[in-house]
C-alpha cells in the first residue's frame, strides 16, 4: 500500500507599508460670473461691468448698462445700447444703430459708423473726425457749413430817382445749400446763422451830388437798423462793401436793396482786359453768404 505525503504550505509574507499620498494639486481660480439674460431672438443683456481683451463679434443686439472696457477689436452688426461709460482703445466697427446716453472718449482710435448714431451725452474726440464725401454734419436737425458766392457781370443802371432796386446776380460762382431765386433772392435751404458779405461798384454819371441808401430785406420784410447812406459827387466812382450777420430759416431769402436820390447812378460791371495787363471781369455786384452756426 502506497503512502501519500502532503507538504504543509508556508505562511504568507508580511505586507509592506503603504507609500505616502502625493500632495493635492492647486485648485484653479474660478472665473468671474457675468450675469447675462436672454432677451430672445438672439439678444442678450448684462448689467455688470464687462472687460474684454480679445475680439468680440456680435450679430444680435447688445445692451450694456455698466462700464465697458474693450482693448481688442469690437464688431457689432446689430443694435448697441450703452448707458454707462464706454472706453474703446482698439478699432471699432459698427454697422447698426448706436444710442449713447453717457460720456464717450475716443483716444487716437479709428471710429467708423455705417448706421445712424445718437449721442445724448458729452462726446470727446482726440484725433481727426473725417466726414466722407457725400456726407454732412447737422446741428439740431439742420445741415451745417452751407455757402454761396454769387456775382453779376452786367451793369445795373438805376434810372428813376427815389425808387427801390434790388441787386441782381447772373452767375453762381460756388454754392452748397444756398441758391439765387428770381435773380435777386439769395435763398437758404437750411436754418442757421449766416454771414452776408457784399461789394458793389457804383458810378454817378451826373453833374449833381446824390445819395444812395443800401439795406437788407428778408423774405419780403425790411431788416431793422440795416440801412446805410452813401453820398456820390458828380462823376464819382465808389465801392460799397460790408457784411451783415442774421438768422435765416429754411426756405427764407435775403435781398440787398438800393434806393438812389438821382436818376443817373449805376452799379457798373467792366469786361475782362488783356492789355496792358490781363485783368479779369469786374462784376457790378459780388455777394457771398456763408453759414457760421
Which letter does DSSP use for residue 273 in this model? B
Q: Give pLDDT < 50 ranges for the chain.
A: 3-4, 6-7
Among candidate residues 285, 271, 270, the one with its CA nearest the CA of residue 173: 285
Q: Distances in Å between the alpha carbon of 114 and those of 5, 94, 105, 129, 259?
A: 103, 6, 19, 14, 53
Could you write out the DSSP letters of every residue in 240-262? EEEEEEEEE-TT-EEEEEEEESS
Number of H helices, E strands in the chain: 0, 31
Under 8 Å CB-to-CB from 82, ≥6 apart: which residues?
64, 68, 98, 99, 100, 101, 102
Among candidate residues 117, 203, 223, the one with its CA nearest the CA of residue 158: 203
Look at residue 4 in the predicted model and tell me its pLDDT: 46
Contact present, 196 and 178 (Cβ < 8 Å): no
pTM metric for this prediction: 0.64
Look at residue 258 in the predicted model and tell me its pLDDT: 98
The Cα 257–Cα 25 span in angstroms is 94
Contact present, 233 and 204 (Cβ < 8 Å): yes
List, as own/partner pairs, every contact residues 225-234 make where C-beta atoms lie below 8 angstroms and the sequence separation is at least 24, other chains included: 230/202, 232/202, 232/204, 232/265, 233/204, 233/209, 234/204, 234/206, 234/207, 234/208, 234/209
Among candidate residues 165, 167, 138, the one with its CA nearest the CA of residue 283: 167
Look at residue 203 in the predicted model and tell me its pLDDT: 97
In this structure, what C-alpha cell is assigned to residue 25?
494639486
The Cα 41–Cα 49 span in angstroms is 23
**Which value, to the nearest 10 degrees, does the dihedral of the CA atoms of residues 293, 244, 165, 214 take?**
170
Which fold, 143-291? Jelly Rolls (2.60.120)
The Cα 72–Cα 15 span in angstroms is 62
* pLDDT tens profile 253-280: 999 999 999 999 999 999 999 999 999 9
Under 8 Å CB-to-CB from 214, ≥6 apart: which residues?
227, 228, 230, 240, 256, 257, 258
The Cα 285–Cα 167 span in angstroms is 7
| Preceding amide of 276 cis, omega within 30 | yes
In this structure, what C-alpha cell is assigned to residue 115?
448706421
Look at residue 78 in the predicted model and tell me its pLDDT: 67
Look at residue 88 in the predicted model and tell me its pLDDT: 66
In this structure, what C-alpha cell is assigned to residue 244?
451783415
The Cα 246–Cα 83 span in angstroms is 38
In this structure, what C-alpha cell is assigned to residue 280?
479779369
Amino acid at each position: 500500500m502506497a503512502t501519500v505525503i502532503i507538504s504543509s504550505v508556508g505562511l504568507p509574507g508580511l505586507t509592506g507599508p503603504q507609500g505616502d499620498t502625493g500632495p493635492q494639486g492647486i485648485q484653479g481660480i474660478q472665473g468671474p460670473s457675468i450675469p447675462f439674460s436672454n432677451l430672445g431672438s438672439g439678444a442678450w443683456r448684462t448689467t455688470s461691468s464687462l472687460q474684454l481683451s480679445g475680439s468680440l463679434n456680435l450679430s444680435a443686439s447688445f445692451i450694456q448698462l455698466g462700464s465697458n472696457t474693450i482693448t481688442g477689436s469690437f464688431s457689432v452688426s446689430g443694435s448697441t445700447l450703452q448707458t454707462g461709460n464706454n472706453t474703446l482703445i482698439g478699432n471699432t466697427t459698427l454697422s447698426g444703430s448706436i444710442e449713447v446716453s453717457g460720456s464717450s472718449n475716443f483716444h487716437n482710435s479709428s471710429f467708423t459708423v455705417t448706421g445712424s448714431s445718437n449721442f445724448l451725452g458729452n462726446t470727446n474726440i482726440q484725433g481727426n473726425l473725417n466726414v466722407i464725401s457725400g456726407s454732412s454734419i447737422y446741428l439740431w436737425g439742420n445741415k451745417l457749413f452751407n455757402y454761396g458766392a454769387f456775382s453779376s457781370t452786367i451793369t445795373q443802371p438805376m434810372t428813376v430817382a427815389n425808387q427801390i432796386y434790388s441787386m441782381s446776380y447772373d452767375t453762381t460762382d460756388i454754392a452748397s445749400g444756398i441758391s439765387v431765386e428770381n435773380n435777386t433772392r439769395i435763398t437758404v435751404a437750411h436754418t442757421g446763422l449766416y454771414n452776408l458779405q457784399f461789394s458793389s461798384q457804383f458810378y454817378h454819371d451826373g453833374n449833381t451830388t446824390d445819395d444812395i441808401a443800401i439795406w437788407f430785406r428778408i423774405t419780403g420784410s425790411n431788416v431793422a437798423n440795416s440801412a446805410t447812406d452813401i453820398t456820390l459827387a458828380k462823376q464819382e466812382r465808389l465801392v460799397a462793401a460790408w457784411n451783415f450777420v442774421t438768422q435765416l430759416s429754411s426756405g427764407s431769402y435775403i435781398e440787398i436793396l438800393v434806393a438812389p436820390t438821382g436818376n443817373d447812378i449805376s452799379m457798373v460791371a467792366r469786361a475782362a482786359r488783356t492789355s496792358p495787363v490781363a485783368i479779369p471781369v469786374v462784376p457790378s455786384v459780388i455777394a457771398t453768404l456763408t453759414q457760421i452756426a
